[in-house]
Amino acid sequence: MNYLSNKADSDAFGFERRFRGGAYLKRAVSRGFSLTELLVSIAIVAVLAAILIPVIRSTRESAHASQCASNLRQIGVYFGLYTTEYDGKLPPCMWDRDGDGPNKDFNPWPRYLARLMPEFSGGHENWWWKSDLFVCPTVDNKRSYAMNWWAGGISISELLEPSKKVLAADSVVGNEDWALALYPVWGGKSDIDFRHNGHANILFFDGHVESRDNDEKYEWNKKDTWIVSEADKKD
């Protein structure tokens, strides 16, 4: 009887120890973070955020710049189609330079390209601004790109160095259609918008697109960078 009693006491003691140990662990887990541990955790999260957020923003902007360049290439294709349809001439930039053409009512160049887009067929080119093609995702504005004013309405046979002359580019956005034209000579600056991490996408007359920065060697503000024909050289 004494043996059984001792064993029972031992089991009871062992159970009591295990129970007490579990209660201790439960109390240890439930005590939560100390103030120091909490501050250290916040500091780690802040450091990680400081590292990752710029990377995420840069990656997102790179994606926007890539989509923007794709838009300009497609716009270049439509410029080419327009010259095929209209006797080798580019559309007017804002109005006909001779004052009596189809642009005399102040129609911007995207309207002319929209005539060739399936979604605006049947005389709906006035709705060109609904096309995402004319919207740079970085600025999300329908007047994201501007055409070189000197190129409006000229014949492609008159072009000088098409691989070096700007046809259209990322431009400083505005609320009026004037923002769709680049006036680099009159305004004293090109109004190219270097919005993609200090770079701008530029469409050249031969259809290729380059990402350029605002480096003086490109001479953005000089007339010779922009004029595209012999006739313009004489102006």
Dihedral pair phi/psi, residue 116, rounded to 5°: -95, 0
Q: What is the pLDDT of residue 10?
A: 47
Using alpha carbons, select from 226, 215, 232, 230 the residue that is nearest to residue 182: 226
**Which band of pLDDT confidence, cut at 50, 70 and 90, is reported for residue 96?**
low
Q: Per the confidence metrics, is the pTM higher than 0.75?
A: no
**pLDDT average, residue stretch 71-79:** 95
**What does the domain layout of the chain look like in residue ranges?**
2-32, 65-233
> d(Cα 197, Cα 181) in Å, to the nearest integer?
23
Tell me the C-alpha distance between 53 and 51, whole Å: 6
The torsion defined by the Cα of 200, 201, 203 and 204, in degrees rounded to 10, comes to 60
**pLDDT confidence band for 220 (50 / 70 / 90):** low
Range among 99-103, 132-136, 139-143 with highest mean pLDDT value: 132-136
d(CA 61, CA 211): 13
